Amino acid sequence: MQPYLMSLLVRSRRLFITLAKVMLPIMVLVRIADQFGVVDMASKILTPVMSLIGMPPEAGLIWASCLFINIYGAVAVIAGLASHLDMTSAQLSALCAMMLFAHGIPVEQAIVKKAGASFWATAALRVFTALFYAAFITWISRHTGYLSQPVDLSWMAGQAADAASQTGWTGWLVWAQSTLYSLVASFAIIVGLLVLLDILQKSGLTDRFTNALLPMLRVSGLSQDAAPVTTIGILLGLTYGGALIIDEARAKNFPPRTLFLSLSWLSLSHSLIEDTVIMLALGADIWVVLVGRIVLTLIIMTLLAWLTRRWQTAPATAQIEPAQ
C-alpha cells in the first residue's frame, strides 16, 4: 500500500507542476488584461457579431468574459446585467451553449498546446463552432417559435461574484485567494482522478467502458489507448483530461493524429456534468446545451477524422479493438 501511495504522490505532483506551469502565468496575464479593459474591448468587437447571429448586444460582454476568463466569470456578468437583460429562452440557451463550447481559452488552449495540439487551431475550432451553433439555434427559434418565450433573470440581480466586481488591491486579494483555492482544488482532483483511473484499470471497467464507446470512437478516429483519459476529460473537464493526456502521451507516445482528435474532442465537449448543470440552473434548455452539443461534436469529429485520415505519420500504439 505504501509504495502505491508514494507512486501516486509522485505522479500527482508531476502532473500538478506541469499543469500549474501552464495555468498560473496565463491566469495572471488574464487578470492584468481584465484590469486594463481588454475584456470590455473584446465585448465591443463581439457586439456586432452577436447581432448577426440573433443575440442581444449584452451577449458580447458575457461571452467575452467567458472566452478570456471562464464560465464563472461569465455567470458573474450575467448576474450584473440580470435586471435589464432581455432574452428569449432560445437566446439564453444559445448563449449558454456558446459558453460551453468556448470558455477560458487562454488557460485551456495553453494546456491543449502542452498536450500536443495547436493552440490556435483548437481555439478557432471552439469559437467558430460556438458561433455556428448559436446562429443555428436562434434561426430555428425565429422560424419555428421553438423556445421563443422570454426568460426572467431578475432573480440573479445583485449576485455578481466579488472577484469580477472589485478593483484595486482588494480585487487582487480576492483574485489571489480564488486562484490559490483553484490550484489546491486542482491538485486534489488530480489525485482523485489518478486513483479513479487506477481503480477502473485494475477492475477491468476501463476496457468495458471503452468497448461500449467503440462505435463513437471509430467515428472520431480515436485509438483505444486515448479513450480512457479522453472520457475522463469529457465528463470532468479539459484541464484534468488534458493533464492526463500529457501524462499518457509521455508514456505511450501517441501519434499526432490521435493527440489532435482527442484534444479537439475535449476542446469542444468537456465537463459535461458540472458545466451543464450550471447552464441548466441559469434556465438553459437541456436539448440545446447537452444533447445538441454532443451531436454537433460527433458530426465535427467525424469530419475531422475523415480529413485527417492520411495524417498518421507514426504508427498508433493501439487500434480500436474490443478488449478481451
Residues 206-220: what's their mean pLDDT? 67
Mean pLDDT of 125-130: 97
One-letter amino acid for residue 87 of the chain? M
- What's the confidence (pLDDT) of residue 158? 46
Residue 21, C-beta contacts closer than 8 angstroms, at least 6 positions apart: none
Q: What are the φ/ψ torsions at residue 243 (nearest 5 degrees)?
A: -65, -40
Give me 274's grid cell. 458540472
C-alpha grid cell, residue 270: 468537456
What is the count of structural domains for the chain? 1
Q: How far apart are CA 78 and CA 185, in angstroms?
A: 25
Please state the rounded mean pLDDT for residues 289-317.
81
* Residue that the C-alpha cell 459558453 belongs to: 99
pLDDT-based confidence at residue 149 (cuts at 50, 70, 90) = very high
In a domain, 290, yes or no: yes
pLDDT at 93: 96
pLDDT for 273 equals 74
Domain assignment present for residue 22? The answer is: yes
Which tens digits make up the pLDDT trace of 46-91? 888 888 999 988 888 889 889 988 887 788 777 767 767 789 999 9
Residues in CB range of 211: below 8 A, 6 or more apart = 322, 323
Per-residue pLDDT at 75: 80
Q: Which pLDDT band holds residue 129 (cuts at 50, 70, 90)?
A: very high
Q: Is 150 helix (H, G, I), strand (E, B) or coil?
A: strand
Averaged pLDDT for residues 29-50: 77
Identify which has the larger pLDDT, 101 or 273: 101
pLDDT of 312 reads 59
Per-residue pLDDT, 254: 79
User: For residue 54, is it left (φ>0), alpha (ψ between -120 and 50) or beta?
Assistant: left
Here the cell at position 62 is 458575457
Query: Which range is least confidently modeled, 106-110, 120-124, 239-243?
Result: 239-243
Task: Say yes or no to pLDDT of 183 above 80.
Answer: no
Which domain range does residue 145 map to? 2-307
> Bridge partners of 150?
88
Helix locations, 119-204, DSSP H? 119-144, 162-165, 168-203
As beta bridge partners, residue 88 has: 150
**pLDDT of 218:** 67
In the predicted model, what is the mean pLDDT of residues 298-309?
89
Enumerate residues 6+ apart whose C-beta is below 8 A from 259: 115, 116, 117, 226, 245, 249
Residues 220 and 259 sit within 8 Å (Cβ to Cβ): no
Q: Are 293 and 258 in contact (CB under 8 A)?
A: no
The reply to whether 216 falls in a domain is yes
Residues 243-260 pLDDT 10s: 777 777 767 777 888 889
Give, as one character, the DSSP assignment of residue 291.
Answer: I
pLDDT digits (tens, 9 = 90+) for 2-24: 788 888 888 888 878 876 776 67
**In this structure, is residue 321 part of a structural domain?**
no
Nearest to 75 by CA among 55, 92, 91: 92
Residue type, 51: S
Q: Where are the alpha helices (DSSP H) in 69-118?
A: 71-81, 89-101, 105-115
Q: Is residue 318 part of a domain?
A: no
> Does residue 75 belong to any structural domain of this protein?
yes
- Average pLDDT in the 231-239 region? 74
CA–CA distance, 214 with 210 (Å, rounded to integer): 6
* Model confidence at 274: pLDDT above 60: yes
User: What integer pLDDT is reported at residue 320 of this predicted model?
Assistant: 38
Query: Is position 317 within any domain?
Result: no
- Higher pLDDT, residue 299 or 80: 299
Whole-angstrom distance, CA of residue 11 vs CA of residue 71: 29
Q: Is the pLDDT of residue 295 over 90?
A: yes
Choice between 229 and 282, residue whose per-residue pLDDT is larger:
282
pLDDT of 161 above 50: no
Lowest pLDDT segment from 24-28, 66-70, 105-109, 158-162: 158-162
For residues 220 and 116, the model is more confident at 116
Report the alpha-carbon distance of residue 69 to residue 99 in Å, rounded. Answer: 11
Q: Answer for the pair 181, 294: CB distance below 8 angstroms, yes or no.
A: no
**Which pLDDT band, with edges at 50, 70 and 90, does 159 fall under?**
very low
End-to-end CA gap in the chain: 28
Give the dihedral of Cα atoms 280, 285, 291, 292; nearest 10 deg. -130
Q: How confident is the model at residue 166 (pLDDT cuts 50, 70, 90)?
A: low
